[in-house]
Amino acid sequence: MRPVRIVIVCVIVAVVYGVIHDEITAHICVEYFTVAHPHLFPTQSPTILGIAWGITGTWWLGLLLGLVLARVATVDAGAPKLNARFLASRIALIVGITAFSALVSGVAVYYLAMNSHLVLPDPNVSPEKHNAFYAVWAAHLASYFAAISTSLLVVLNVWSMRMRPRGEALEPKE
């Protein structure tokens, strides 16, 4: 049951993060979802689009992380098995780094776009929304990159921690 809990926690955390992230970005620039994405629903509502794309864009990443993390945290009968509660701080670290990366990237690209006079080739995005569009785009790219790379680091950390011989402390050897 331990691996199932880890997978469920990862999926829930990913979806909650995705909905919050997409609610914010959809309210900044709804055109990112209405112009640059396939239509899930015939709506222009940033709230509905934020929820729909928040779930659609993240459940699979949470599932993938959950499956890999559950496997790494619970395989090998000789090593102590880890549970979702133990992994919570590492999952929170992934979310924190992902959110911080999205925020910094979005703000930085917004100001770069504002000063560079970037123009989107799509006429469906009004010129006054171009900077916001670029900012939201950058926030989404940074979010995916940070989530994937930080997840890989967490998986490696958990694996290396579990593969240490029993009794080996984290203290430096003399």
Q: Is 168 among the domain residues?
A: no
pLDDT digits (tens, 9 = 90+) for 123-143: 888 888 999 999 999 999 999
Q: Is 75 among the domain residues?
A: yes
SS3 per residue for the chain: CHHHHHHHHHHHHHHHHHHHHHHHHHHHCCHHHHCCCCCCCCCCCHHHHHHHHHHHCCHHHHHHHHHHHHHHHHCCCCCCCCCHHHHHHHHHHHHHHHHHHHHHHHHHHHHHHHHHCCCCCCCCCCHHHHHHHHHHHHHHHHHHHHHHHHHHHHHHHHHHHHHCCCCCCCCCCC
Q: Is 169 among the domain residues?
A: no
Q: Is 110 among the domain residues?
A: yes
pLDDT digits (tens, 9 = 90+) for 54-97: 999 999 999 999 999 999 998 876 777 888 888 999 999 999 99
Give residue 86's domain range: 2-163
Q: Is 171 among the domain residues?
A: no
Q: Is 120 among the domain residues?
A: yes
Name the domain count of the chain: 1
Q: Is 174 among the domain residues?
A: no
